[in-house]
Structure 1
Amino acid sequence: MEKTITMKVRKDPAPKEQRSLLKLKGSLISKGYTQIIHIEDLDEVFHLNTFEIPEQMGDEVRQYIAAFIASQELSQTITITN
């Protein structure tokens, strides 16, 4: 069974934050957590990035994203919403 992960991402991050966001998305794909990340508008400030993972990987993926956000100081740019 699949589980959906949703992240709220700022539309206008600083250049350093933009590079870190690309690194996060690339690492989610290269680690095999997902093959594609869907992006849609939430409002004028944020996008929603969603992707599906195997249900048993939910905690692992959330912990990975949370650790990445903390290490790259992206808490004002990206949050996990579910």
Structure 2
Amino acid sequence: MSEYVLPPVGTLTTSLAALAAGVQPATIRDWVRRGLLTRCGGSPGRPLYRVKDVQAARTAAKPTRPGQRPVQVA
């Protein structure tokens, strides 16, 4: 089954959120797991995120671990 043809206005699918933030879809899922981004709807297999929340997560300070590469901000 494919993703939404067009998500509701003001929301993004995981793929679109990744594209908007300039990251991979796995990074979006990681931000959710770490509490930097919250789902606003959709289904468990096809979550939706608010555009403003994706942009906030993109610019949020990310915690680092010892030995982790420095974050390059574009």
Specify the TM-score bucket, using the shorter chain as the normaliser: 0.3 to 0.5
Bigger strand share: 1
TM-score by length of structure 1 reads 0.31
TM-score by length of structure 2 reads 0.33
